[in-house]
Amino acid sequence: MMKTFDLRVKQLLDGDLSLADLPPELRAEGEEALRLIAAVDRAPVTLTPALDTRVMTAVRQHAKSPARRAWRWLAAPREVELRLRVRPWAVWGGALAAAAALALLLSRPPAPAPSAFHNVAFVRFVLYAPGASRVAVAGTFNQWDQAAAPLVPAGTAGVWTTTLALPVGQHQYAFVVDGRRWIADPAAPAVDDGFGRRNSVVAVTTQGARTL
Amino acid sequence: MESRDAVTDGEIVRGVLAGDVELYAVLVERYRDRFARYAVRMLGSHDAAEDALQDALVRAFDRLADCREPDKFAGWLFLILRNRCFAEQRRHQREGRLSEDAAEAVAAPERSDGAVERHEQARELELALGQLTAEQREAFVLKHVAGMPYEEIAQLTGATVASLKMRMHRAYDRLRELMKEYR
């Protein structure tokens, strides 16, 4: 049968008690336990300098991959400067044409409001988080920016909600409670993000959004 | 001129994401040795630890855009390395392979009887650590090798202090049993 350490000896190993705190009958067991821990090799570990070279070689190769470059090109924000050189009569002419087009539009019977634009659908996010002082939703659609999409308290106590216009496609997201706690949406399926945390998944189509 | 050490992890991550790939070398240099001891003690071998660290660092680069909080890059990288070490250790245990390299991971003894005995004890303990579950071994390594308090381990691993203590107490009992078997 396995002989276990007394709880007080375990507390000694945890640093919560000292050897002097143990009753005399436990001293020998305490000393045995301390000998076990004393055998730990705490020598510093040095890895070969070649590790840095190998990592950076792999990193440079990966950075050159066409898919990664294409994604970076698409995702990188750019400043666009637009310069116009116009004559005053053209400005007035343009304004008149725009006013005429607007009047024409307003005179037509109203069409039913579409629930989704061509490539965008409105998705409502809801989280029940009683006691939270702020809640946000962060995901692939806003570069995981915690400040981009705050939720507001709904009528029912503890319920937070927001509606976002999301492009068609599959998105991963999570709620951020009080700026530090990341939690998956309990109402949606979740996938492992590869690092031990869970991301929720929503698929947006022109017909609306659905959880996968 | 601004020192490389003065640059925060968040600034580096944002710089790399903006296209300055060479900046990533600062993060590699900053974290390779800091996490080396954890990897060696978790895997019981310098070679396996180097492979795991290399893999984790390259994987972190590939998924850098998923790093939600760039200023907490160290914790994020640790989770990647941790997952890699757990997977490796489980693979070893599934294949029934004990850490035969465990002795290699223990520092070589000096030339004295006491030192040789200490080295032998350290080697036995290293072998015993290889028999623990990945979670138990990690708790032991972080507490008794890295010298971290339970609260810090909890923050790093996401476990509660109570569950960490329970894990550790089971590890103490198992180690006691194994060390007796080796003698």
Note the CATH architecture for domain B111-183: Orthogonal Bundle (1.10)
Distance CA A47, CA B31 (A): 12
The residue among A179, A174, A180, A183 whose CA lies nearest residue A147 is A179
Alpha carbon of residue B126 to chain centroid = 14
Q: Do B19 and A138 count as a contact with CB atoms less than 8 A apart? A: no
Q: What is the mean pLDDT of each run of 10 residues along chain B (183 residues)?
A: 70 89 92 89 88 94 89 92 89 64 52 68 85 92 90 90 95 91 72
ipTM over 0.95: no
Task: For A120, list phi and psi in degrees, rounded to 5.
Answer: -135, 145
Q: Do A39 and B125 count as a contact with CB atoms less than 8 A apart? A: yes
Closest-approach residue (CA) in chain A for B34: A45
Is domain A120-211 classified as CATH 2.40.50.140? no
Q: Which residue in the set A41, A62, A75 is minimally distant from B106, CB to CB?
A: A41
The answer on pLDDT for A108 being more than 70 is no
- What pLDDT is attached to residue A112? 42
Q: How confident is the model at residue A111 (pLDDT cuts 50, 70, 90)?
A: very low
The answer to whether residue A67 neighbours chain B at the CB level (below 8 Å) is no
Residues of A in contact with B66 (CB under 8 A): 144, 193-195
Going by their DSSP bridges, the two strands A159-167 and A169-177 should be labelled as unpaired
Q: Which two tokens stand for residue B58?
A: 């390259």
Q: Do A47 and B46 count as a contact with CB atoms less than 8 A apart? A: yes
Is domain B1-101 classified as CATH 3.90.170.10? no
Q: Do B33 and A3 count as a contact with CB atoms less than 8 A apart? A: no
CA atoms within 13 A on the CB side of A54: 14
Q: Which two tokens stand for residue A22?
A: 């143990």
Q: What is the 3-state secondary structure (H, E, C) of chain A?
A: CCCCCCHHHHHHHHCCCCHHHCCHHHHHHHHHHHHHHHCCCCCCCCCCCHHHHHHHHHHHHHHCCHHHHHHHHHHCCCCCCCCCCCCHHHHHHHHHHHHHHHHHHHHCCCCCCCCECCCEEEEEEEEECCCCCCEEEEEHHHCCCCCCCECEECCCCCEEEEEEEEECEEEEEEEEECCCEEECCCCCCEEECCCCCEEEEEEEECCEEEEC
Q: How do the domains of chain B map onto residue ranges?
A: 1-101, 111-183
Residues of A in contact with B62 (CB under 8 A): 62
What would the pLDDT profile of A181-208 be if each residue is shown by its tens digit?
888 888 888 887 767 778 888 888 877 6
Q: Which two tokens stand for residue B48?
A: 């396996």
Q: How confident is the model at residue A57 (pLDDT cuts 50, 70, 90)?
A: very high
Residues of B in contact with A33 (CB under 8 A): 172, 176
Contact B129, B41 (CB under 8 A): yes
Q: What angle do CA A32, A38, A42 make, to 5 degrees?
A: 160
- What pLDDT is attached to residue B135? 92
Distance CA B120, CA B74 (A): 34
Residues of B in contact with A37 (CB under 8 A): 144
Contact B153, B142 (CB under 8 A): yes
Q: What angle do CA A68, A70, A74 make, to 5 degrees?
A: 115
The residue among A138, A142, A120 whose CA lies nearest residue A209 is A120
The answer on pLDDT for A116 being more than 50 is no
- What pLDDT is attached to residue B52? 94
Distance CA A87, CA A91 (A): 7
Mutation for testing the B interface, residue in A69, A73, A195 having most B CBs under 10 Å? A195
Contact A33, A8 (CB under 8 A): no
| B-contacting residues in A 25-64 (Cβ below 8 Å) | 32-33, 35-37, 39-48, 51-52, 54-56, 58-60, 62-63
Minimal Cα–Cα distance from A136 to chain B, Å?
Answer: 13
Helix axes A27-38, A7-14, angle to 10 degrees: 40
Q: Which residue in the set A10, A44, A76 is minimally distant from B37, CB to CB?
A: A44
Distance CA B139, CA B170 (A): 11
How far from B63 is each of A68, A144, A181, CA to CA, in Å?
11, 13, 21
Mutation for testing the B interface, residue in A8, A56, A199 having most B CBs under 10 Å? A56
Q: How confident is the model at residue A113 (pLDDT cuts 50, 70, 90)?
A: very low
Contact A156, A186 (CB under 8 A): no
Domain with CATH 2.60.40.10 in chain A: 120-211
The residue among B146, B119, B133 whose CA lies nearest residue B178 is B133
Minimal Cα–Cα distance from A128 to chain B, Å?
Answer: 22
The residue among A120, A95, A123, A96 whose CA lies nearest residue A201 is A123
Q: How confident is the model at residue A85 (pLDDT cuts 50, 70, 90)?
A: confident
Residues of B in contact with A171 (CB under 8 A): none
Q: Which residue in the set A2, A40, A196 is minimally distant from B125, CB to CB?
A: A40
